[in-house]
Structure 1
Amino acid sequence: MTTTHKGTCFCGSVEIEVSGTPVGMGYCHCTSCRVWSAGPVNAFSLWKSGSVRITKGQDLVGEYAGVPNSKRQFCENCGGHIMTDHPEWGVTDVFAAAIPSLAFEPSVHVNYAETVLPMRDGLPKFKDFPAEIGGSGEQVAE
C-alpha cells in the first residue's frame, strides 16, 4: 500500500498530495532558500515529480523562478510557499512544514558553505551539492 500525505498552503486554498516515500530529506542553507523561506535554513523533502499533485486550488498557484532549476510555487491568495520544482533533477521539493503528517528524517545538509545557522547534528554537510546531482561532492566540517 502506498503512503499518501496531504498538505496545504498557509490559508488552505491550495491542497497538495504526495505519495510514496521521499527520495531525500534534509536542510538547504543557500541564500536563495533562506531568503525565499524567510528563515536561516530550509527543511526540504524531495519527491519524484510524478509523486506530487495539486488536488485543490491549481488556479491559485503562482510560480517564480529566481534561480536556474528552481521553479518555486506559492499560493497567490495567502503567499504561502508550497513547493519547488527541480525539473533538471526530476524531483519536487515540498517544504517539510507543508506536510504535517510526514515524519521529517533529514539525512543531509546542502549548500552548507553558505550557512548562517551552524547545525551540529552529525549529518553530512556538503559545500554545495552531492556529486550525483552536479555538485562538487565536497563536504565541509560542522
Structure 2
Amino acid sequence: MSEHKGSCFCGAVEFTVSGEPAAMGYCHCESCRHWSAGPVNAFTLWKPEALKVTKGADHIGTFNKSPTSFRKWCKSCGGHVFSDHPPMGLVDVYAAVIPGLPFRPAVHVNYGEKVLSIRDGLPKMKDFPAEMGGSGVTLPD
C-alpha cells in the first residue's frame, strides 16, 4: 500500500494518506475559490481512515460555512490542509499539500461556477456526478 506525507505551510501539522484516493480533480465552486484564494482548487478525495495526522493535531483549526464541508487549517501559519465532507463520507486533502503524490486529475466539478476556463479534455461537470448527489450534467470543454 502506498503512503504519502504532507504538511501545512509551516510544518507544524504533518499527516500521511495511505492507499489510493477515491478521486482527484479540480473544483470551481465559489466556496473552494474563496477558501483557496485562487480561481480553481485541486482536490484529492480519500476515505477518512486513509488520513492520519502524525504531528500537530492541536494546531488544526476548523471552520464550517455549511454542514457539507468542515475546512481545516493550521492555527500557526494559516495553511490549509484538508476538508471533511461528511455527506460524501470523504476527506479532501488539497493536492498542493501532498508533494509526493502524483496528481492525476480525472474531472472538473462545479464547472458551472467557473471563473477560469480550462481546456484539458477532462469531463466538466455542471456540479457533481450523479453518484455524488449532483445532477450528473456534463458541460462542453
TM (normalized to structure 2)? 0.98
| Structure 1 alignment gaps of length 5 or more | none
Q: 1:69 is matched by which residue type in structure 2?
A: T
Alpha-carbon RMSD across the aligned residues, in angstroms, is 0.6
Per the alignment, residue 124 of structure 2 pairs with 125
Query: Which residue of structure 1 lines up, in the alignment, with residue 137 of structure 2?
Result: 138
Q: Give secondary structure in 1 for the equivalent of 2:125.
A: coil
Query: Identity over aligned residues, as a percent?
Result: 60
Matched positions, count: 141
Q: In the TM superposition, what is the alpha-carbon distance from 1:17 to its structure 2 partner?
A: 0.5
Cα displacement string for residues 52-90 of structure 1 (whole angstroms, at most 9, x for unaligned residues): 011100001000001231000000000000000111111
Q: What is the SS of the residue equivalent to 1:32? A: helix
User: Are 2:51 and 1:47 aligned?
Assistant: no
Q: Does 1:6 align with 2:12?
A: no
Q: Which residue of 1 aligns with 2:101?
A: 102
* TM-superposition CA deviations, 1:68-115 (whole Å, max 9, x none): 310000000000000001111111100000000000000000000000
Q: Distance in 1 between matches of 2:16 and 2:124?
A: 29
Q: Work out the CA distance in 2 between the residues paired with 1:97 and 1:105.
A: 12
Question: Partner of 1:89 in structure 2?
Answer: 88
Task: Find the aligned partners of 1:37 and 1:106 in 2 and give their Cα distance.
Answer: 18
Instruction: List alignment gaps of at least 5 residues for structure 2.
Output: none
In structure 2, what is the Cα distance between the partners aligned to 1:8 and 1:70?
20
Secondary structure at the aligned position of 1:88 is classed as helix
| Distance (whole Å) between structure 2 residues aligned to residue 38 and residue 137 of structure 1 | 27
